[in-house]
Each structure stands twice: as structure tokens, then as C-alpha cells.
């Protein structure tokens, strides 16, 4: 009997080569036709076939199409059916993970997330595309206007164009780049308008070159800012350029402000002449295509550079000790001579300005004085202006006032501490005279720096030395809750003093 079974199997197997094999059927419809016990009926517990079952896929297959069933997750392989494609084991079912992926076979699950390039993705992404050396390409097309209907549905109704649609514009009518549809118009990804850029005017005289100077034969790299007016927020492409003095000025793509802004030019090259020889750059419609064709002007740069430094202090009048009330301000004196002051020094250290007052006098009588810190006499040309809330604008000036270099505070010597309000002096003495050493604490401006309300004062001075290219601007204001209150520790602590020296040096 055993021999007969073997022969039967042999004969049955032999039919594989010459015919079709059917299991549970006498009429197979394929090379191998395996039918359930209840063909085309309800499945039973014993229906099905079993292919080889394994617990890992560490070994390579031997022939394309080889099929196995992985009984448990193993490394990067997921439990289920896998086949050998000649290179790797490829899953065909059994993805038990929450996320699905596309692996070349098309295994996706539309009810979950889709991952491309991996078999695990972010829980926060409906579509997760992963790669270390590839990107993605979104639809590319020519947008001919900011309100173009793509008409993908063929109904010619732009109202049906969905909000959030993203495309890449390859055209030139509007600037190339990514755009999204906001329901009304195509906008760039930074939400700028796609309208063609428009400006009505550029301000050539206000152009700024950085660095501001250049040297012949030395490579230069910098930027040129050219102000414009009446921008419409449109985006524009760069690339247009002009050459002047060996430097190429290239317009950089950007978007216009709504109103005023700056056009940016990259400046690179080797100058043929050095500063202070000016470089003239013609601004016209060829260089700036969105500028009116009827308008042009010339930017002139490189003539000089400016150094601007600032010193500033802000805070209450502070007690500095008991002093004899004279212009030194530092000599120990009587107990009653308590001095309160706030000092600012110019960035180069050459001049200091002090707001000060003496105990027992109204805060509104605080006084401004100036000190020369250079050690040598300095003749200054100066101007003073003050906005009085009741008296309007006052201004005083001098062509040549000498400030000694002895380190003392200088200004007016009119009036006395007993009656500081009697002083009518608003400035340093007249042209050619020496700024007087004070016998009172007060000077350089009148003793009333608080005319019922805070005054804003401005002082400007420079030395008479023609080779000195530095000018100084002082700004001052003091606030006090009660300006008529007498100066003492408590009342001075409630004041707020602002002193700023702006030091400008032209090269």
C-alpha cells in the first residue's frame, strides 16, 4: 500500500509537467487550482493553504517569487507574507503598524498616514516623505496673472479654485517661485502680493553705500541702498546690473514695501579710483525695470564717510558730596553746600556736560555747565536752542568762545546762589571772550531749565580748528513731579534727567 501511494504521488506530480492540477476539483482552471471544501461558499476552519513559515528573514532567497510567511516582527520586517524579488524580501501583507508606506509595491492604507521612503513616519504628518538626497517636485506652471484660473475642472469658474492650492510659477509675468491661492489671488509663500511691482520715485541723493569708501586696485564688496517711494508691495526679480568705477552694482530680488523702502544692490568689483573721488551710478528703467521709463537720476557715492557715536545718561539727580559752590565742583566745603548732579561725557572724552543744583534751591533752577577735558584751551563755535512752553523758541550762539583746559566747569557767572533766578544769561559770553570761571555753581545756560514744564534743549559745538572734523550735539531734558520743590535727597531722587551727546566725525 505504501508503494502504491508513492506511485500515485509520482503520477500526480508528473501531471504538473503535462497538465493542470486540481485539489478538491476535477476541473482545475489553472496550473494549480486549490478549492475550499465549500467552493464559493462559507469558509471553514480548515480551508486555506500553508506556505513555509519562518521567524526571521536574515538569509537571502534563492529564486524570484519564493514565498514565505514571517510569524513575528523581525528587525525592519513586519509579520506577514514576504516574497524574494532577487535582491530583498518584499512584504505583500501583514502591515500591523499604524502608519502605512509606499515601498514600490504600492502598499498604502488611505485611512492612516502615508510615508514615502521609510516604514515609519511622524504621527503628526498625513504625508511624510523621507530622503537624504532627494526632494519633492510640486506642479510647475506659468502663472500669467495674479488671478489666473487653472480651470482643472473645466468649468471656467475661478470660485471653485480651492483655497490653499500650491504651485510653482515658472513664468516671467510675475516673479517665479512658490505661490498659493488664497481664494482671491495668487500670493507668494510669505503672503506677498503677486502684482507687478510699481514705484513712482527713487531718492538718489539719499543713497547709502556700505562700506562708504573704496581704494583703487583693492577688491571691493558691499551693498548700495537706494530709497524709493510709493511701493505697491509687489515682488520683483533681481539680476539687472550696471558697472561704475570698476564696481558692478546688481539689483537684488525682493518685495516692495507698501510705501517707502530701499532697493538693495550688491556691489562687487575692483575700483579704478579711490575715495573721495565719487562714483556716479545712473538709475533708470533699464536697471530698475519697474521704475517709470520717464524718470532717471544719478547716485553719487564714495566721496566721504561719517563716524557717528553717542553717549547718553538717564536717571535722577544724584548726591555727589558737599562742595564749595564754585566751578571746580570738587572742593570740600561747608556742610550746607550739598551738590546734586548728572554728567555725560562725549564718546572721545574731550568734553563733559553737567546738570547740577545745590541743596535748598528749587529744582527748576538746575543748571548746565561744560568742561574741557583735553588739558589745553579749546576755542569752540557753538549754538544753543531751547523750546519754552510759554516763551516759544530761544536761540543763542557764539563764533569763538574759549574754554580753558584746567578741568573746571565753565559757563555764566551772572547771578549768585542766593538769587539764582536773577540771572538772565542763556549762553557762554560773546565771541572772542573766555568762558568765565563761576563764582556761583551756575553757567552756560540760564538757571531756569524747567519753565513750568520740561524744556527740551539742544546745544551744538565744534572747535575752531579747521582740521578737526568733529561736531557735538547735546540733547537735554529734565522732569520733576514738583519743579518748585527745593533740592534735597528726597526731591532729587524723584527727578529724571536725560543727557545725550552725539559725536559726528566726517572723514
Domain edges within the chain: 2-34, 201-304, 309-506
Position 325 scores a pLDDT of 45
Q: Which residue has the cell 538746575?
A: 366
Query: Measured between alpha carbons, how far is 297 from 295 in angstroms, rounded to an integer?
Result: 7
pLDDT at 330 exceeding the cut of 80:
no
Strands 140-141 and 166-169 come out as parallel
- Return the C-alpha cell found at 308: 557717528
Query: Measured between alpha carbons, how far is 10 from 12 in angstroms, rounded to an integer?
Result: 5
Q: Beta-carbon neighbour count of residue 351 at 10 Å?
A: 22
Rounded mean pLDDT of 137-155? 92
**Taking the model in full, what pTM does it have?**
0.41
Of the pLDDT bands very low, low, confident and very high (cuts 50, 70, 90), residue 507 is low
Q: Which CATH architecture has domain 201-304?
A: Sandwich (2.60)
End-to-end CA, the chain? 118
Nearest alpha-carbon partner for 341 in 333, 329, 331, 351: 329
pLDDT at 215 exceeding the cut of 90:
yes
* C-alpha triplet 262, 268, 270: angle, nearest 5°: 140
Collapse the DSSP code of 170 into the 3-class scheme (helix H, G, I; strand E, B; otherwise coil) and give the result: coil
Position 116 scores a pLDDT of 87
Q: What is the pLDDT of residues 68-122, one digit of tens each?
A: 999 999 888 889 999 999 999 999 864 444 444 454 444 454 456 788 888 778 8
Q: What is the dihedral of CA 56, 61, 64, 69, to 10 degrees?
A: -20
Collapse the DSSP code of 6 into the 3-class scheme (helix H, G, I; strand E, B; otherwise coil) and give the result: helix
Q: What is the pLDDT of residues 469-491, one digit of tens each?
A: 899 999 999 999 999 999 999 99
pLDDT at 359 exceeding the cut of 70:
yes
pLDDT exceeding 90 applies to what percent of the chain?
40
Amino acid at each position: 500500500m505504501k508503494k502504491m501511494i508513492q506511485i500515485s504521488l509520482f503520477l500526480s506530480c508528473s501531471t504538473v509537467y503535462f497538465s493542470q492540477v486540481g485539489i478538491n476539483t476535477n476541473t482545475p482552471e489553472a496550473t494549480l487550482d486549490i478549492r475550499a471544501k465549500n467552493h464559493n461558499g462559507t469558509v471553514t476552519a480548515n480551508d486555506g493553504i500553508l506556505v513555509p513559515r519562518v521567524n526571521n528573514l536574515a538569509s537571502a532567497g534563492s529564486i524570484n517569487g519564493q514565498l514565505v510567511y514571517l510569524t513575528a516582527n523581525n528587525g525592519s520586517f513586519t509579520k506577514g507574507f514576504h516574497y524574494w524579488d532577487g535582491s530583498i524580501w518584499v512584504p505583500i501583507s501583514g502591515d500591523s503598524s499604524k502608519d502605512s508606506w509606499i515601498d514600490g509595491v504600492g502598499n498604502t492604507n488611505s485611512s492612516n498616514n502615508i510615508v514615502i521612503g521609510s516604514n515609519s513616519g511622524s504621527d503628526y504628518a498625513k504625508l511624510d516623505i523621507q530622503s537624504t538626497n532627494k526632494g519633492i517636485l510640486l506642479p510647475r506652471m506659468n502663472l500669467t496673472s495674479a488671478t489666473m484660473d487653472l480651470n482643472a475642472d473645466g468649468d471656467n469658474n475661478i470660485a471653485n479654485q480651492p483655497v490653499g492650492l500650491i504651485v510653482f510659477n515658472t513664468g516671467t509675468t510675475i516673479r517665479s517661485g512658490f505661490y498659493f491661492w488664497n481664494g482671491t489671488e495668487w500670493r507668494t509663500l510669505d503672503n506677498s502680493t503677486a502684482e507687478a511691482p510699481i514705484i513712482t520715485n527713487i531718492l538718489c541723493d539719499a543713497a547709502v553705500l556700505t562700506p562708504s569708501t573704496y581704494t583703487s586696485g583693492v577688491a571691493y564688496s558691499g551693498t548700495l541702498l537706494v530709497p524709493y517711494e510709493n511701493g505697491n508691495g509687489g515682488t520683483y526679480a533681481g539680476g539687472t546690473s550696471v558697472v561704475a568705477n570698476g564696481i558692478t552694482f546688481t539689483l537684488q530680488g525682493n518685495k516692495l514695501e507698501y510705501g517707502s523702502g530701499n532697493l538693495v544692490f550688491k556691489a562687487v568689483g575692483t575700483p579704478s579710483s579711490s575715495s573721495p573721488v565719487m562714483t556716479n551710478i545712473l538709475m533708470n528703467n533699464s536697471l530698475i525695470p519697474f521704475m517709470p521709463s520717464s524718470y532717471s537720476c544719478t547716485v553719487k557715492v564714495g566721496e566721504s564717510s561719517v563716524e557717528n557715536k553717542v553717549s547718553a545718561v538717564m536717571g535722577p539727580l544724584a548726591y555727589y558730596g558737599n562742595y564749595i559752590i564754585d566751578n571746580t565742583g570738587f572742593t570740600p566745603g561747608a556742610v550746607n553746600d550739598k551738590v546734586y548732579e548728572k554728567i555725560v561725557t562725549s564718546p572721545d572724552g574731550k568734553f563733559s556736560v553737567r546738570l547740577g543744583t545745590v541743596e535748598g534751591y528749587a529744582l527748576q533752577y538746575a543748571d548746565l555747565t561744560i568742561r574741557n577735558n583735553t588739558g589745553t584751551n579749546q576755542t569752540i563755535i557753538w549754538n544753543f536752542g531751547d523750546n519754552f512752553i510759554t516763551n516759544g523758541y530761544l536761540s543763542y550762539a557764539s563764533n569763538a568762545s574759549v574754554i580753558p583746559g584746567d578741568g573746571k566747569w565753565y559757563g555764566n557767572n551772572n547771578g549768585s546762589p542766593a538769587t539764582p533766578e536773577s540771572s538772565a544769561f542763556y549762553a557762554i559770553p560773546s565771541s572772542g571772550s573766555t568762558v568765565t570761571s563761576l563764582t556761583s555753581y551756575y553757567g552756560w545756560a540760564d538757571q531756569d531749565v524747567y519753565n513750568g514744564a520740561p524744556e527740551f534743549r539742544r546745544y551744538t559745538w565744534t572747535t575752531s580748528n579747521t582740521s578737526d572734523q568733529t561736531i557735538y550735539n547735546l540733547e537735554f531734558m529734565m522732569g520733576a513731579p514738583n519743579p518748585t520743590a527745593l533740592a534735597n535727597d528726597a526731591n532729587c531722587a524723584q527727578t529724571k534727567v536725560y543727557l545725550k551727546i552725539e559725536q559726528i566725525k566726517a572723514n
